[in-house]
Structure 1
Amino acid sequence: MATQEYEYRVDGPPPYIDPPPTELDRRNPVMKDDGRLDVDVDSSIVKYLSYIRRHSKLEPLHGAQDENDKDSDPSPPYSQFQVAEPPPFPVKLNIVIQVVGSRGDVQPFIALGHELQKDGHRVRLATHNVFDKFVRDSGLEFYPIGGDPAELMAYMVRNPGLIPSMQSLRAGDIQKKRKMMAEMLHGCWLSCIEPDPVSAAPFVADAIVANPPSFGHLHCAQALGIPVHLMFTMPWSTTKEFPHPLANIKNGRGSGTEPHVANALSYSVVEFLTWQGLGDIINEWRDTLDLEHISFSDGPYLAEILKIPFTYCWSPALVPKPADWGPHIDVCGFFFRQPPAYTPPAELDEFIRAGPPPIYIGFGSIVIDDPQKMTSMLLEAVQKSGVRALISRGWCNLGGPEAENVMYLGDCPHEWLFQHVAAVIHHGGAGTTACGLVNGRPTTIVPFFGDQPFWGDMVSAAGAGPKPIPHRSLSVELLVEAIRLCLTPEAQAAAQEIAVKMKAETGVRAAAASFYANLPVHKLECDLIRGQPAAWVYRRKNTRLKLSKVAVEILASHLRIDVRRLKKNETRKIVIETLRWEPITGTVSAAIGVSRDMAKAAADIVVKPAKAYRDRLKVTSSDPGANQPVQALDLMSRSPGMEGYIASSKKSKTRDCMTLTTSMSAASASGVAEFFKSYAGGFVTIPYAFTEGFRNIPHLYGEEVRDIGTITDWKSGTAAGARAVVYGVVDGVSDVFVLPYKGAQQEGALGAVKGVGKGLAGMSSKLFTATVGMATYPLQGIYKSIWTSAKPNTQRSIALARHAEGSYLAAKARADGIDDQVVMNSFETLIHNNATGRFLDLPGTGKDGFVGV
């Protein structure tokens, strides 16, 4: 987590009373028919994941009675950023918000985008094409990433858990979903560097905000070297307090697993199975970004290992922050947008006024297989309950016969509607749940998939509604019972109590402050123009300057800087390394990876030319003159004036043949090059994995291993090799004496004997690492440098996009009367005084330099 640059004072939140322990804490969960994943804590997969956690960089899991837990202070129920107006962030950024999901998933991020816009940032919301008008009408920039949310919703209803049904397998749903995910990953990358599709204004992201199901966020941030911040409406970070919302936990007979440990492991299971289904797609996409593949064991835990900042947008009045979440995780409150200006149609207004407040029933973006059956059930329950009802048609197009006490609704903002109803019945989307509760409306949740059962449990535990009714179990009788419970004074009072607490929260503002607190201001701001983000680092002699896109284009246009000295300013460098636990599995896994790459490259020698041939056939088949019969050409050749045309056609065919041959040869050569690259890489990768495995042996018996640094190029590789030698010799020799002494202090004579064994093992592994590491670590650094130089396409495209935006912004600055000479004079002053890191107020431009240009 970046150093916090501002002090955010907490003006005491309203009195907070902890809600009663939820059922998720009290009960021993069993498998239910709600589509969630059944997690058996005694299964081999859970034991395997538990082993990974013990021997990785992840936080250890402890039982409920862990001594460290007893003395630790619980997390405060309210975010430290719950303040009215924290200081605005000093640098004006290009922020892309990447969201995958339904309209309910997109809407909270529109509220966040507005909040960031108020602080002067340029905000682009990247999501499915169908939400183009919804986003642009709200005043935000939009970028389409592809994917069909209706199809995703239908898939999730058919497969609420992570295991696909036979119906989905027969329908080919899995392949469609994987293809859609590949499309969205590509769209997420383009959303970071492509110009606006409407205005054509260049755009390169300086920071990324995303929800976890967009999946491309971390990898885009790694390629760009920029910060990424995750935000979501359901728990996605490991905690011992409750299981993952997509998991049901089963404790086998005689299981020794603590319930709190089982809760935490459920997050590992969900992440593991998600990566199992999408890991190959993500790694293939990373190839296009010139990034190395992520290993099978590290992929599920990337955000947790790297401690990516995470903000949860739900109310702590409903679900307080778990005590085992670190400072990089925050719970800020629900995101509410500004209520849209809305005048109800006369028919709706008359219906509301015609009797007691109706109840609301709607399932939003959910796609139901049999909407007629669902409508009939709803109508019968409404009649038996003796209530009036507003039924939202939604994406499943609910609708039936007209009735005096029922009205069917199209699109109507919940912010307005929920003020005029007595209770709400819906699918349990986080946004809809929040809107109902903030208006003090008792809530019945009919969950279909995802986090919806979780929110149903939370509402029920708070007393603001009945237990959730899974849609497969929904019946007229259960619905009638739920409606009657929602209309009781007790449910009304509980909902009102939650509403009072939620209205005192500043969810969107707190989330923006949380986002700012995790940004490295000292790396982000231009040294020359105050308030602009630094895209480049310029070095000359002893001077190192961080320069914005505008500053570089102005200085380069007047030949004041050599653009060859520019390097990308990485404000958040993300390095993903495969952790080798010990030498045997480390070496075997590396060998398997090299063999896999060699096999793929060997296949590409044949596959790529065949693909080039097929692609060429598609082009020629689309040309109406490409496949004319020979007889027709003969006939045409005898016609007067056609000799030149035929000769031209023959030349064209010859050129096409040569082009096809060239492209097929190039494709085959590419496969050959990849094969030898994988073969040569194996001579570095396998010994490096073997050395790392030996270096990490002390982890196996609970000893710490010294960090030798991250290897990113030949310089860091050489430094790591030197540290490995020094640490290996010093620590290896000292362990023989230190570990027996420590063991004797802790366990007496037995501990001393164990210490001797650990010392001998440590000396062997560390001296071996020192001997081999002096060669393997520098070689790994050289390999990294060659890898970077051999795959320059992505970095070149980033540089071109940044230069394009810089030219565009510099032209706007000049049009607004900014003098280039002011920038050049300040640059010369900095160079002359060697005043790196000092911000200047530029004469004639005001306190904020080019901010707002």
Structure 2
Amino acid sequence: MPQNDQPQQPSYLELPANGEHDDSGPLANELPQYEALAELEATTTGRGDGRVDIDLSSRIARRLSRLVPAEKRPLFHEHRPHAPPEYTETIETSLRLIIVIQVVGSRGDVQPFVALGTELQRHGHRVRLATHGQFDKFVRDSGLEFFSIGGDPAELMAYMVKNPGLFPSMKTLRGGEIQRKRKMVDEMLHKCWRSCIEPDDLTGRPFVADAIIANPPSFAHIHCAQALGVPLHLMFTMPWTSTREFCHPLANLRANGSDMSASAANYVSYSLVEWMTWQGLGDIINAWRGTLDLETIPFSEGPCLTETLGVPVTYCWSPALVPKPADWPENIDVCGFFFRDAPSYQPEASLANFLSSGPPPVYIGFGSIVIDDPDKLTETILEAVRATGTRAIVSRGWSKLGGDSPGDDQVFFLGDCPHEWLFQQVTAVIHHGGAGTTACGLLNAKPTTIVPFFGDQPFWGNMVHAGGAGPAPIPFKALDSNNLAEAIRFCLTPEASAAARQIADKMSSEAGVRRAVASFHANLPLNDMRCDLLPNLPAAWLYEKKGKHVKLSKMAAEMLVQEEKVSWKDLKYYQSQPVHIENKRWDPVTAALSSLTSTSIGLVTSTADIIVKPIQAFRPTTPSGSRPSSREGASRSGDTLERASADDVFGRPAGIDLPSAPKSTHEKEHHHQHRALTAVKGSALGVGGFFKYYYRGLLLDLPYAVTEGMRNAPKLYGGKVYDPGAVTDWKSGGIAAGKNFAHGMVEGIGGIVMEPVRGAKKEGAAGAAKGVGIGLLNLGTKLSSVGPLLARANGLAIHSTFYFIEMAVPPEAAAIIQRKKAQYCRFADSNQWDRFDSIMLPDATFLFHNPDGSVITKGDIEYSWSSTKDWVAFFENEFRAVQAIHIIGPAEMEQIAPDEIKAIWAVTYHAGTKEHEGGVHGTGGGHYHETWKKVGDDWFMESLRMERLYWKVLSI
């Protein structure tokens, strides 16, 4: 087979060659959401292989094609270098970050990020890998911190194969599988957020992410980054960014007589796949965003959100196999495959004997793919091997190919074996086309045949074929002994071997993991992230006073506060990379209709909540199964033991499942009171939501939507529009209005002069007349948008005083409370009782009780105090002879008013007398129920109620 210097791009679609489609200009008319959904369903069809058929002749596909940016350079360069981008081997950064990596997928998806996390650790960063619980040991054994985000990768894969793009079949609907999977996604969203802020579940070490790395299917990434205001970097093994050079790897394009150009069709396929995904998950994501105090994302902005915001992306495949498309911007890199260090492996004697007894075999295996009829597939493989006269190693995989057969001199059936070692022993590889398996085969210069089952596997098969290292992919449903034999013969040709060797030589110099880390560092806003006093630490707080703006790390802020140089109330939570999501408008009419629709839906929903929420609160619930138990009493010997047991008021390790005692009358009354409060609160939320949507919709969103529509209207007829930036408060609104006015005057007046000239050059006198009209229209639309910008700025300032009704705990407040609770534990452990006035209000109240509600007592002293002074005096005296160590778990927080937050902590503690020999030691646990009040810009504990669940004396 003749080889070119460049891999050939595969042909993804067959379209009539009748000229380039007009790819310029925005959508002239936005579709309403309900109509867009109907159009989307007519345009896209889910297949049984995890891929999507896209009809290019549909109305929505044609409209989206108008959003394809104008081409600035040729699509396909004849001599484009496909070596990796020119990175410095390492970009030195002394900034040490806390990084969370969020990954959804199979082990093959997780494994590259383990390699990435290990390399990031070598640069001094602290790394947590947040993924499915099944990979706990795998991740921890690599030396990384682990956080479980729930979800079952096997179930997710099976669901996506049956229901690609979340368009469910009737069988799936009847089986109730949709709701189960939606709940799984909802669980993963919540836990992805928790992975950014919760302490390590083994050590209790605090964790708040300074940066997020994620693969696109984890979904929560951009929203977590927005809530924290930290940088986000996406990394993935298949293309997820719009390009003209090839279509989305999960899309099959059908022309159906469309005159759309191939480049436009490829580009549009990414938007349509994103729209399908958002249709299935948008409501779940927006409901979850509400718990983070983030605004709802409009239907028009949810798809392709990370692309719109310019989030940096690193693709971990070899540019020798798939070069970086020419139309991808600088924030996107193709760095090479991520390879782990090869594990040590000693083959079993039977495998070693087979390898040494003849010429190198071919490898055939399909990994974790579960096949309905493994016996039939085994027979197909054996027939093809016999027909070609080659020797073969067949991986049994999850389908148990070969059954109990031991094989023979020509075929060896293999169990588990690392590909890094095995692929060095064979002459060609045949597999399902997973990105990792494909990469390993090509790195070892092995010609490759891919038999794709679903998802992106056909994409990799086409890319291998385009590079000359293998035949065209054979879909599994089309596989038989004849085409498999032909594929084996192709892989054994000198041309295929030479092409694979050429790719391997280029891959071997790529150092994908190191280059990905360099790409991550290069895209960080380092100057905005550094502490101004300790530049090797990231900034977490902002000091603004008397014209000074100083970024402070947590350590720097703590030191300055201790030295009384600054006060906590002078510090604000710092966001190193704020994220602003704007609802783009194209014209005044559709903008007004869209705003009114959103407002109406909000009003109806809030009105219903006034009635529905109280009903839900009092709806009977089925209690979960609980088994009766008796509390274990601990005998107390001597005064010291009594003191030790009574003083253990700290807590319980998170995750311990303790049997509950039968509910007392006190607990039942408390339960009814809680339901009543929940009902009242739910109804109040409905009332507050009604007024919020009414005020914001009619007085803020509607005028602003019309204004934005007028400002953007010149785009409809080819004009350019200045972007004044996001409006988030009165200050930013004033600045935006000023900039918009200045640019509007210059561009508007200039347009009155220039538009007739441009029109005359194109169409003569008629064009000049049109130009006059366009110039006047431009001037009117641009200047008319200044006043509403100022109105929106003032409105946002007022709106913030009402928004607390549905507000989640702001990250700044949560950070203060978590820090002070950690200080609470440390001060108590080290007997620094004089420092509690920085944590608690002077009139704070304290109550310690048993599960039945009875107050804990020591003699005639009840563990109940009505001031911080009295509480400190008691424990300062009691703890002179006792040493306690306690560890708090993650907090449940809820903001119930602008200046009030409820927090619940699960805590475990150990306490014992301080004698070197003898004495007593015990362990206990419970929950703290606390109320924190805002004073100025700081937060203080107003009340503490501790429910001690158990106390056990340990023998020494």
TM-score, normalised via structure 1 length: 0.83
Paired position in structure 2 for 1:691? 707
Answer yes or no: is 1:587 the counterpart of 2:595. no
Paired position in structure 2 for 1:300? 303
Give the whole-Å Cα distance in 1 for the aligned partners of 2:590 and 2:330: 34
Q: Look up the SS of the partner of 1:617 in the other structure.
A: coil
Structure 1 residue aligned with 2:69, among 32, 46, 61?
Answer: 61
Letter in 2 for 1:760: L
Q: 1:656 to 1:149 in 2, by over 3 A?
A: closer
Q: 1:459 to 1:731 in 2, by over 3 A?
A: closer
Structure 1 residue aligned with 2:547, among 542, 564, 568?
Answer: 542
User: Which structure dedicates a bigger proportion of its chain to strand?
Assistant: 2
1:727-751 CA-to-partner distances (Å, cap 9, x unmatched) read 5556545533332233334543233
Q: 1:808 to 1:450 in 2, by over 3 A?
A: farther
Q: Spell out the pairing of 1:319-330 with structure 2 (5 A cutoff).
A: 319-330=322-333
Answer yes or no: is 1:486 the counterpart of 2:474. no
Contact 2:48 2:164 in 1 (8 A): no
Paired position in structure 1 for 2:524? 519
Paired position in structure 2 for 1:20? 8
Q: Look up the SS of the partner of 1:420 in the other structure.
A: coil
Paired position in structure 2 for 1:657? 672
Letter in 2 for 1:206: D
Q: Spell out the pairing of 1:493-512 with structure 2 (5 A cutoff).
A: 493-512=498-517
Give the whole-Å Cα distance in 2 for the aligned partners of 1:728 and 1:159: 49
Structure with more relative contact order (C-alpha pairs < 8 Å, separation 6 or more): 1
Moved more, 556-565 or 235-244: 556-565
Give the whole-Å Cα distance in 2 for the aligned partners of 1:415 and 1:620: 48
Structure 2 residue aligned with 1:708, among 712, 724, 727?
Answer: 724
Contact 2:230 2:575 in 1 (8 A): yes
Q: 1:772 to 1:292 in 2, by over 3 A?
A: closer
Paired position in structure 1 for 2:354? 351
**Offset, 1:771:** 4.8
Give the whole-Å Cα distance in 2 for the aligned partners of 1:514 and 1:652: 56
Give the whole-Å Cα distance in 2 for the aligned partners of 1:778 and 1:134: 53
Letter in 2 for 1:289: L
Give the whole-Å Cα distance in 2 for the aligned partners of 1:420 and 1:73: 36
1:142-173 CA-to-partner distances (Å, cap 9, x unmatched) read 11111111112222333456644444344333
Letter in 2 for 1:171: G
Structure 1 residue aligned with 2:766, among 750, 772, 776?
Answer: 750
Q: 1:206 to 1:798 in 2, by over 3 A?
A: farther
Moved more, 218-227 or 86-95: 86-95
Q: 1:241 to 1:473 in 2, by over 3 A?
A: same
Paired position in structure 1 for 2:192? 188
**Offset, 1:804:** 7.3
**Offset, 1:785:** 7.2
Paired position in structure 2 for 1:761? 777
Paired position in structure 2 for 1:741? 757
Q: Look up the SS of the partner of 2:540 in the other structure.
A: strand
Give the whole-Å Cα distance in 1 for the aligned partners of 2:823 and 2:423: 48
Structure 1 residue aligned with 2:686, among 658, 661, 671?
Answer: 671
Letter in 2 for 1:318: L
Q: Spell out the pairing of 1:218-257 with structure 2 (5 A cutoff).
A: 218-253=222-257, 255-257=258-260
**Offset, 1:439:** 0.4
Give the whole-Å Cα distance in 2 for the aligned partners of 1:27 and 1:444: 27
Give the whole-Å Cα distance in 2 for the aligned partners of 1:342 and 1:810: 47
Give the whole-Å Cα distance in 2 for the aligned partners of 1:281 and 1:809: 37
Q: Spell out the pairing of 1:405-444 with structure 2 (5 A cutoff).
A: 405-444=410-449
Q: Structure 1: which 5+ residue stretches go unaligned?
A: 1-14, 54-59, 626-647, 815-853
Paired position in structure 2 for 1:629? none
Moved more, 740-749 or 583-592: 740-749
Q: Look up the SS of the partner of 2:333 in the other structure.
A: strand
Letter in 2 for 1:519: L
Contact 2:112 2:340 in 1 (8 A): yes
Q: 1:709 to 1:670 in 2, by over 3 A?
A: same
Moved more, 551-560 or 158-167: 158-167
Q: 1:622 to 1:688 in 2, by over 3 A?
A: farther
Q: Spell out the pairing of 1:438-453 with structure 2 (5 A cutoff).
A: 438-453=443-458
Paired position in structure 2 for 1:555? 560
Q: Spell out the pairing of 1:736-815 with structure 2 (5 A cutoff).
A: 736-780=752-796, 782-783=798-799, 787=803, 791=807, 793-796=809-812, 798-800=814-816, 803=819
Paired position in structure 1 for 2:157? 153
Q: 1:808 to 1:207 in 2, by over 3 A?
A: farther
1:674-708 CA-to-partner distances (Å, cap 9, x unmatched) read 22222222121112111211121111111112222
Q: 1:513 to 1:384 in 2, by over 3 A?
A: same
Q: Look up the SS of the partner of 2:784 in the other structure.
A: helix
Q: Look up the SS of the partner of 1:39 in the other structure.
A: strand
Contact 1:604 1:668 in 2 (8 A): yes
Q: Look up the SS of the partner of 1:238 in the other structure.
A: coil
**Offset, 1:49:** 2.4
Paired position in structure 1 for 2:40? none
Paired position in structure 2 for 1:400? 403
Q: 1:173 to 1:396 in 2, by over 3 A?
A: farther
Give the whole-Å Cα distance in 2 for the aligned partners of 1:503 and 1:26: 35
Contact 1:100 1:211 in 2 (8 A): yes
Letter in 1 for 2:292: L
Letter in 2 for 1:462: G
**Offset, 1:726:** 4.9
Letter in 1 for 2:63: Y
Q: Look up the SS of the partner of 1:424 in the other structure.
A: strand
TM-score, normalised via structure 2 length: 0.75
Answer yes or no: is 1:337 the counterpart of 2:340. yes
Contact 1:580 1:693 in 2 (8 A): yes
Number of aligned residue pairs = 764
Contact 1:365 1:396 in 2 (8 A): yes
Paired position in structure 1 for 2:92? 88
Give the whole-Å Cα distance in 2 for the aligned partners of 1:336 and 1:218: 26
Q: Look up the SS of the partner of 1:419 in the other structure.
A: coil
Moved more, 601-610 or 451-460: 601-610
1:17-66 CA-to-partner distances (Å, cap 9, x unmatched) read 32234334888899998553222222012123235x2xxxxxx434xxx5
Q: 1:444 to 1:524 in 2, by over 3 A?
A: same
Give the whole-Å Cα distance in 2 for the aligned partners of 1:76 and 1:481: 32
User: Which structure dedicates a bigger proportion of its chain to helix?
Assistant: 1
Q: 1:798 to 1:337 in 2, by over 3 A?
A: farther
Q: 1:385 to 1:74 in 2, by over 3 A?
A: closer
Contact 1:526 1:547 in 2 (8 A): yes
Paired position in structure 1 for 2:866? none
Give the whole-Å Cα distance in 2 for the aligned partners of 1:318 and 1:693: 44
Give the whole-Å Cα distance in 2 for the aligned partners of 1:40 and 1:133: 44
Q: 1:599 to 1:386 in 2, by over 3 A?
A: farther
Give the whole-Å Cα distance in 2 for the aligned partners of 1:522 and 1:424: 48
Contact 2:704 2:788 in 1 (8 A): no
Give the whole-Å Cα distance in 2 for the aligned partners of 1:75 and 1:439: 25
Paired position in structure 1 for 2:57? 42
Paired position in structure 1 for 2:573? 568
Letter in 1 for 2:6: D
RMSD: 3.2
Q: Look up the SS of the partner of 1:266 in the other structure.
A: helix
Larger radius of gyration: 2
Contact 1:231 1:310 in 2 (8 A): yes
Paired position in structure 2 for 1:462? 467
Paired position in structure 1 for 2:140? 136
Paired position in structure 2 for 1:818? none
Answer yes or no: is 1:277 the counterpart of 2:274. no
Q: 1:67 to 1:434 in 2, by over 3 A?
A: closer
Q: 1:289 to 1:374 in 2, by over 3 A?
A: farther
Q: Look up the SS of the partner of 2:206 in the other structure.
A: coil
